[in-house]
Amino acid sequence: MSFVIEVKDLKKSFGSFKVLDGVSLSISPGESYVVIGGSGTGKSVLVKCILGLLDYDGGSIKIDGKEVNKIPAKEMAQTLLKCGVLYQGGALFDSLNVIDNVSFGLVYGYGVPIKEAYKTAIEKLYAVNLDERIIKAYPAELSGGMKKRVALARAIATNPDIIFFDEPTTGLDPITSGTINELIVKCTKEMGISALSITHDINSLKHISDRVGLLHKGKIIWEGENSELTSTDDPFVRQFITGSPVGPFTTEGL
Amino acid sequence: MNFLIFLEKIGEMFISFLTAIGKLSIFLVKVLRFGTTPPYYWRQIAGHAIQIGYFSLPVVGMTAIFTGMALTLQCSSGFSNFTAESAIPAVVMLAMTRELGPVLAALMVAGRLGASMAAEIGTMRVTEQIDALTTLSVNSYRYLVFPRILTGVVLMPFLVFIDDAIGILGGYIVGVYYLGYNSANYIHNTFVTMTAWDVISGLIKGSVFGFMICLMGCYHGYNSEGGAEGVGRSTTNSVVAASILILIFDCILTFVLF
């Protein structure tokens, strides 16, 4: 079976601190995989390694069957064009307005003429429940939820094959979180995009995941379907889902 | 034992110094490698050109005019002891074109632009905007760093030239309207000793200083870590490093050029 992303025995340390100690996971085309885990367990590091933003110490990461750390720089840029990323804080470019942010990848990555890129950007803004009224606004003038939606519009503007969501609902109110979750499901299911998300938000997890992996102490210690989340006997998953202060995470530490 | 600890500290400092030089060299090689190959971001280059060449003019001009004025006053009180007042215009011209013009303009630009570059790029680093650039398939060295360094190298000589002119004008204003020198004589004495090399050497210095300022601003900003505090640290480090390098290279270039 071919996987869009295949990670095997991934290892990454910062100095003597082992962050990832043999992580393995795979994502099929059109699948939404969510990595959960406590703060500081290396979820963001995992995504950054997959995207080639961080070098890894051992193991293997393949995107579309190509080993990430062996892809030449030019080819990596092409590979990244197939990836959309929604960063935790949005990572919108402060010096650019909304329309320039959303069309950025099209203009500078694909070389699409600016007028055509703007047209696509407006379509994508509509897709995330925004409209032309905000196109001239700068990121500093937007609310947290709007920033996330603009960032999502930017992530899907290039029609990627894979999207990475880094804590997409962190810091948002429940209603805006719900909207973002709906948009993520819409993007992945309607557009057939594969997704790798990392989150702490249990509602979001239940809503957007097909498959879930629990990252703890540098390893995926549990993996299962969305439907197994509530039925599993795994004490780590149960504590994480219920948010109970008593359980193995408390005993072992996050 | 104490001597061994002392040696160990010296060794650590030396290794840290070499590491910093190595990191800076790798950074510079990447900037040149990616920046000199297409695509070229002309819009970015134009934006930074306006920032450096146009918005720095007021601060550079203010510094120059008051420096020229003060220099003329100082020369007047000193030179009058030797009845050498006629040398004042030439001394002001030489000081401004060869030394004060490039150094003061560079220090002002380091404070204004070097700091803003470090802060802007540093903020982009800690808020993952640089990662976002990479994942949007845009090379951050090509898009963020090279346009800044290029405009610094090209436009600093322009600022230095303006600085020279305004500084000399400041000297003229004080000399003629406060000290009462004859206007025609003052102008004649200013330009009679001036050579093209006096001006060109200052412009060369300006170009080198522009490179240092932008390299330090971009390098420290690009390597920022640790949130707002880290950005603040990078900003300070960029201004301090640029200022020290300006003074060191001013001395080296003066040896080389004269």
**Per-residue confidence (pLDDT) for residue B180, from 0 to 100:** 93
- In whole angstroms, what is the distance from residue A30 CA to residue A32 CA? 7
Q: Which of A78, A89, A111 sits opposite B128 (nearest CB)?
A: A89
pLDDT tens, residue order, chain A (254 aa): 688 999 999 999 998 899 999 999 999 998 999 999 888 889 999 999 999 999 999 999 999 888 998 888 888 888 888 899 999 889 999 999 999 999 999 999 889 999 999 999 999 999 888 888 899 999 999 998 899 999 999 999 999 999 999 988 887 888 888 888 988 888 888 888 899 999 888 888 999 999 999 999 899 999 999 889 888 888 888 888 888 888 787 766 55
Element (DSSP H or E) covering residue A252: helix A248-252
Beta strand A5-14 pairing with A17-27: antiparallel
Contact A87 B138 (CB under 8 A): no
List Cβ neighbours of B163 (8 Å cut-off, separation of 6 or more).
Answer: B60, B61, B63, B64, B96, B101, B102, B104, B105
**Per-residue confidence (pLDDT) for residue A252, from 0 to 100:** 63
**In chain A, which residue's Cα lies nearest the Cα of B125?**
A91
Lowest mean pLDDT across A96-110, A166-180, B29-43, B45-59: A166-180
How confident is the model over B1-23, as a mean pLDDT? 92
Contact A109 B124 (CB under 8 A): no
**Cβ-based contacts of A72 with chain B (< 8 Å):** none
What is the interface pTM, i.e. ipTM, of the complex?
0.89
**In chain A, which residue's Cα lies nearest the Cα of B41?**
A108
Contact B131 A91 (CB under 8 A): yes
How confident is the model over B101-112, as a mean pLDDT? 95
Q: Which of A95, A109, A111 sits opposite B136 (nearest CB)?
A: A109
> With bands split at pLDDT 50, 70 and 90, how would you rate the model's confidence at B86?
confident
Q: What is the nearest CA distance from B179 to chain A, expressed in angstroms?
A: 49
**Per-residue confidence (pLDDT) for residue B170, from 0 to 100:** 96
**Per-residue confidence (pLDDT) for residue A101, from 0 to 100:** 96
Predicted structure pTM score: 0.89
* pLDDT above 70 as % of chain B: 100
